[in-house]
Chains A and B, each alone.
Chain A
Amino acid sequence: MLSFEPRQGGPLTQIATPLLAVLATVLAGAVLFAFVGAAPLATLETIFVAPLTNPFQRSELLVKAAPLALIAIGLSFGFRAGVWNIGAEGQFILGALAGGAVGLAFWQVDGWWLLPLMSLAGMLAGFLWAMIPALLKVKTGANEILVSLMLVYVATNLLSALVAGPLRDPDGFNFPESRLFHDSATLPILVEGTRIHSGIPVVLLIGIGAWVLLSAHVFGFNVRLTGAAPRAARFAGVRPGAMVIVCLGLSGALAGLAGTFEAAGPAGQLTRDGIANNYGFTAIIVAFLGRLHPLGILLGALALAVTEIGGEGAQVVHGLPAAATDVFQGLLLFFLLAFDTGTRYRIRVATRRTA
């Protein structure tokens, strides 16, 4: 029989846990691939090593990691405070739609102000979409997990409807996709020959800002307090309803911004498959891998970007389905959660005592 005694994990365990989890995921993944009949070592090489050695894939790491990090940073505040926003995917889609729609509204209009305007629209749309579960939670007590998740399906259908309807390219032979954004509505490329765009340094700045917010600002303190001791937080004057609204609003706005960046950056237009690519769900894993800490999340996003890009490579080289990446990511979250027990509790093999 195992017994668990609570303890405070030191900084070493905080760093070791995610690394151990990644290692275990790689091993379990190898077993899994052998099980489904793919060559384990070659597949692992494609998924984990190729994205780091191939120069183009290496640049793509940043392109994929940026939206993941941005969404995960927003989510991490809520997850710390026990506010479960599972619908970041929907807020991401709404951000892409709103930002993209503004870009299309000013089609062929040049100006430095267009990208900031699009970003604002995207953040506002993500914020408002997140306000639906937030206000329903606060006003009626409806479960924010299920409401925010249901809104993902609504958002996906909305995206399909809009790119086949009002936002469709008038010269596009009726394909369900928007026009390509013009130059003023596209994030400038920073490194020639790659897709590294100017949204990436913005994400980095937001990550540092979130770190300061979490560790030095009273809001960050309240978030951490709510997560660690909800009753104490209430006595300290933290209103639970306000916490729900702020956390969901913040994560919604950041997910919306990520959506706008995705539309105005790598996607370059609004299409169903280009926008609804499950970043909102992957970011949940990123948040946990980064231990809900902004700087950890920046690193965690890079790690998950490796599996995303490697997974795409494995589709081409080994004919694995796209979902193999999801298996990896799910496994990673399992191992993280399991190993996390080791940081929160001292585990002993207990000899049964009599009462």
Chain B
Amino acid sequence: MSPAGARALRGQMIVIGAALVVLALFADVNGIRPVLLYASVIAAAQPLVFAAIGEMVVERAGVLNLGVEGMMIVGAITGFATAVGTGSALLGVVAGALGGAALSLIFGVLTQIFLANQVATGLALTLFGLGFAALIGQSYTGQTPPPFPRVDLFLLSDAPVIGRLLFAHDLLVYVGIALVTVVWGWISFTRHGLILRAVGEDHDAAHALGYPVIAIRMAAIAFGGACAGIGGAYLSLVRVPLWSEGMTAGIGWIALAIVVFGAWAPWRVMLGAYLFGGVTILQLNMQAEGITVLWLLTFAFFLLAVQASVDAIIHGRGRIGLVVFLWASTLAAGSIAVFAPITISSEYLSMAPYLATIIVLVVMASDTAQARLRAPGALGRVFRPRD
């Protein structure tokens, strides 16, 4: 990574760290135990971790699959149906992965062999997946899946705070972390990872070197589909756990945005997923507790202010006026929230994850110089072998 990239990374880590600290403090003040909140944030983020890391691999191979939402919901129903049928939640997860991968291969065949437009095909995959899942899920509404096995590490899980923080999650949380680790190591340090990146950066050059571009991309697409399927199965087997039509509610699309947010780097993608889990849980808790939405505004201003300050300090760019303005806005929104808390209907709060996604997309995109350096060079372009 270039020095500029490393500096930008450090800047973003500071922003994310500040966000986490403030969220924990906020929860504690409002009587929500931070440790419990943390556990629910992890659970809310986990589908995103799987879906986003899978899509990241697909995009590193130069393919833009917009069908994440469709693959997730198909994974959710195949996983759910299998778990109910066999009584094994773990088999359900495997089935979810297979379901997602099977659906993704439709995308693979259309875009890689029939050279179809990736945007349109991805959309078709989502529309088809949502319908298909609802069709086979019809008889599963209202059923309960078998419980998901918890990892119990004897004494460790019972340790006061550390036990709850580190050792008391469900199996898939650890699988997710392991998956991100493996993907990171594989992409960064192995020969095959290098070939995948080469295919994603310039498919014609990779082809000229004799690498099977289409086969590599098909494998990446199937991997992405399996990951999205696991994410969906997590949703229907662990997080909710129930089946309902359209239960993904845009999470697949948010996963796509998280890949952009994570700048195609595994650990940052995972962090992004946890951050979005945080926004979701915060929003749900605010709905439940009737906490004024002004805090959300305060929080948004706070993050922007930290970002601007970090920019000004680390990069030596950014305007002092903007920094002062953002901190003043944070203070103003915060004091209104304390002295004149207004409450609004829950629908407005439900917009929060989607608005946060838009803000993230804008912030990431405005960093044009860096964004252009990081996005895989051949992303979304059609590859036609000419020999």
Asked if B357 contacts A337 (CB within 8 A), the reply is: no
A142 CB, nearest partner CB in chain B, Å: 4
Asked if A150 contacts B357 (CB within 8 A), the reply is: yes
CA distance A350 to B5 in the complex (A): 45
Asked if B365 contacts A150 (CB within 8 A), the reply is: no
**12 CB-based A-B contacts, threshold 8 Å:** A140-B362, A149-B253, A150-B358, A151-B358, A154-B351, A154-B354, A154-B355, A285-B124, A326-B134, A329-B127, A330-B125, A333-B128
Who on chain B is nearest to A84 by CB?
B119
Chain B residues closer than 8 Å to A329, beta-carbon distance: 127-128, 131
Asked if B250 contacts A323 (CB within 8 A), the reply is: no
CA distance A86 to B330 in the complex (A): 34
Asked if B127 contacts A281 (CB within 8 A), the reply is: yes
Chain A residues closer than 8 Å to B106, beta-carbon distance: 334
Asked if A337 contacts B116 (CB within 8 A), the reply is: yes
Asked if B250 contacts A141 (CB within 8 A), the reply is: no
Chain A residues closer than 8 Å to B116, beta-carbon distance: 337-338, 340-341
Q: Tell yes or no: A288 within 8 A of B by CB.
A: yes
Q: Tell yes or no: A215 within 8 A of B by CB.
A: no
**Chain A, 25-68, contact with B by CB distance < 8 Å: what is the 0/1 string?**
00000001000100000000000000000000000000000000
Asked if A323 contacts B245 (CB within 8 A), the reply is: yes
Asked if A36 contacts B136 (CB within 8 A), the reply is: yes
Binds A, one of B144-152, B215-223, B271-279, B342-350: B342-350
**Chain A, 104-140, contact with B by CB distance < 8 Å: what is the 0/1 string?**
0000000000000000000000000000000010001
Of A4, A154, A353, which is within 8 A of B384 by CB?
A4
Taking CB atoms and an 8 Å cut-off, the chain B residues in 342-387 that contact chain A are: 345, 347-348, 350-351, 354-355, 357-358, 361-362, 364-366, 368, 371, 384-385, 387
Q: Would A330 and B354 be within 8 Å (CB), given that A140-B362, A141-B366, A143-B260 are in contact?
A: no
Chain B residues closer than 8 Å to A9, beta-carbon distance: none
Asked if A337 contacts B130 (CB within 8 A), the reply is: no
Of B114, B135, B371, which is within 8 A of A323 by CB?
B135
Q: Tell yes or no: A160 within 8 A of B by CB.
A: yes
Q: Tell yes or no: A189 within 8 A of B by CB.
A: no
Taking CB atoms and an 8 Å cut-off, the chain A residues in 263-288 that contact chain B are: 281, 284-285, 288
**Chain B, 309-334, contact with A by CB distance < 8 Å: what is the 0/1 string?**
00000000000000000000000000
Q: Tell yes or no: A157 within 8 A of B by CB.
A: yes
Chain A interface, >50% SS class: helix
Q: Tell yes or no: A246 within 8 A of B by CB.
A: no
Asked if A323 contacts B351 (CB within 8 A), the reply is: no
CA distance A320 to B348 in the complex (A): 33
Q: Tell yes or no: B236 within 8 A of A by CB.
A: no
Taking CB atoms and an 8 Å cut-off, the chain B residues in 94-131 that contact chain A are: 106, 110, 113-117, 119-121, 123-125, 127-131
Asked if B362 contacts A326 (CB within 8 A), the reply is: no
Who on chain A is nearest to B113 by CB?
A2
Chain B residues closer than 8 Å to A285, beta-carbon distance: 124, 127
CA distance A328 to B350 in the complex (A): 31
Who on chain A is nearest to B106 by CB?
A334
User: How many chain A residues touch B (Cβ–Cβ < 8 Å)?
Assistant: 53
CA distance A217 to B365 in the complex (A): 34
CA distance A142 to B260 in the complex (A): 10
Asked if A333 contacts B124 (CB within 8 A), the reply is: yes
Asked if B345 contacts A165 (CB within 8 A), the reply is: yes
Who on chain A is nearest to B386 by CB?
A3
Taking CB atoms and an 8 Å cut-off, the chain A residues in 312-355 that contact chain B are: 320-331, 333-334, 337-338, 340-341, 344-345, 352-353, 355
Chain B residues closer than 8 Å to A330, beta-carbon distance: 70, 124-125, 127-132
A97 CB, nearest partner CB in chain B, Å: 13
Q: Tell yes or no: B227 within 8 A of A by CB.
A: no
Chain A residues closer than 8 Å to B350, beta-carbon distance: 157
Chain A residues closer than 8 Å to B115, beta-carbon distance: 4, 341, 344-345
List 20 other contacts, CB 8 Å, given A2-B113, A141-B366, A320-B135.
Answer: A136-B365, A142-B366, A146-B256, A146-B260, A150-B354, A151-B354, A157-B347, A157-B348, A158-B347, A161-B347, A164-B347, A285-B127, A321-B135, A323-B132, A326-B131, A326-B134, A330-B131, A333-B124, A333-B128, A337-B117
Who on chain A is nearest to B353 by CB?
A153
Chain B residues closer than 8 Å to A340, beta-carbon distance: 116
Q: Tell yes or no: A145 within 8 A of B by CB.
A: yes
Q: Tell yes or no: A24 within 8 A of B by CB.
A: no
Asked if B128 contacts A331 (CB within 8 A), the reply is: yes
The 5 closest A-B pairs by CB, nearest first: A330-B128, A326-B131, A323-B134, A161-B347, A327-B131
Asked if B123 contacts A86 (CB within 8 A), the reply is: yes
Q: Tell yes or no: B143 within 8 A of A by CB.
A: no
Chain B residues closer than 8 Å to A204, beta-carbon distance: none
Chain B residues closer than 8 Å to A3, beta-carbon distance: 385
Chain A residues closer than 8 Å to B53, beta-carbon distance: none
Taking CB atoms and an 8 Å cut-off, the chain A residues in 283-299 that contact chain B are: 284-285, 288
CA distance A345 to B345 in the complex (A): 54
CA distance A288 to B362 in the complex (A): 29
Chain A residues closer than 8 Å to B254, beta-carbon distance: 150
CA distance A284 to B66 in the complex (A): 14
